[in-house]
Amino acid sequence: MQSAILHQGFALSRSRSAPQGFALPRSRSTRARLESALGERISAPFTDIERRTLETVPTGIAPLDALMGGLPRGGITELFGPPSSGCTSAMISILAEATARDEVCALIDGNDAFDPKSAAAAGVELNRLLWIRCRKLEHVLKTTDLLLQGGGFGRVVMDLTDLPASNVRSIPLVSWFRFQRTIEKTPTVLVVMSSENIVKSAAALVLRMEKQDAQWSTLLNGFNFNIEIVRSRKSRPLKSYVRVHLHSECVQ
């Protein structure tokens, strides 16, 4: 793991004595460190979210929210699709919606692909986003486990899209169920982004992304996508997909 960055330079240091360069401190200690670092910019970053009891939260994509009601708190949502299928744009919309609601979010960037300038332009409030830059799958998994155990985040995003597919496929199903058990009684939404469906039955919601066509004026305005509901623990809507338009800034 290279670094963990919050706007204005907050970083989680790594321990030299930990195996393979990564330390897993106790969740209470980690939470205290995060609260201390966030406290100057965000009043009570973790306490307010624990009082929220909404079953689902919006994605910021109106047609998708109208179809399925939003993302389930205390569960895993998986977004998957090939490159340029819209996963990154959907993720940016989810983060922008959450940070606009004063929730603190975390992005575990599997291969250091996140563009904070584009995200800020699309509405993400970077002072409410913990950005953790990784380059190996093991770092992504350990960091996710650490943050979920520490608690207090409205959204935790695992971006696995730029990691080797063979490595991502090797993640055992028990790991996903462990993550699910960790958050099942919390307000946290774990969003997993990948090129293939990997979370399987541990996911509360699975969305397949597919790019359809581009929209132009003089310049490129954005792209149209189909988003298919592959799995939902809630009752399935009569219509299982929706066509949406997403802007071009962060499409991947």
Among 1-10, 30-39, 184-193, 236-245, whose mean pLDDT is lowest? 1-10
Answer whether residue 121 is part of any domain. Answer: yes
User: Could you give the maximum distance between any two Cα atoms of the chain, in Å?
Assistant: 56
Separation CA 98–CA 91 (nearest Å): 11
pLDDT of residue 100: 97
Answer whether residue 193 is part of any domain. Answer: yes
Answer whether residue 143 is part of any domain. Answer: yes
The predicted model scores a pTM of 0.76
Answer whether residue 90 is part of any domain. Answer: yes
The fraction of the chain above a pLDDT of 90, given in percent, is 57
We report the CATH number of the domain holding residue 10 as: 3.40.50.300
Instruction: Mark 20-49 as b/e (b = at least 16 C-beta within 10 Å).
Output: eebbebebeebbeebbebbeeebeebbebb
In order of 82, 123, 139, 140, 183, the CA distances from 20 in angstroms are: 31, 36, 9, 13, 27
Expressed as residue numbers, the domain containing 223 is 3-247
Contacts of 177 (CB under 8 A, 6+ apart): 202
Answer whether residue 197 is part of any domain. Answer: yes
Answer whether residue 252 is part of any domain. Answer: no
Answer whether residue 66 is part of any domain. Answer: yes
* 212 token code pair: 């359809």
pLDDT tens-digit series, residues 180-219 = 999 999 999 999 999 999 999 999 999 999 876 555 455 5
| Domain count along the chain | 1
pLDDT tens-digit series, residues 33-86 = 665 665 555 544 454 444 444 489 999 999 899 888 899 999 999 999 998 888
Q: How far apart are the first and last CA of the chain?
A: 23
Answer whether residue 80 is part of any domain. Answer: yes
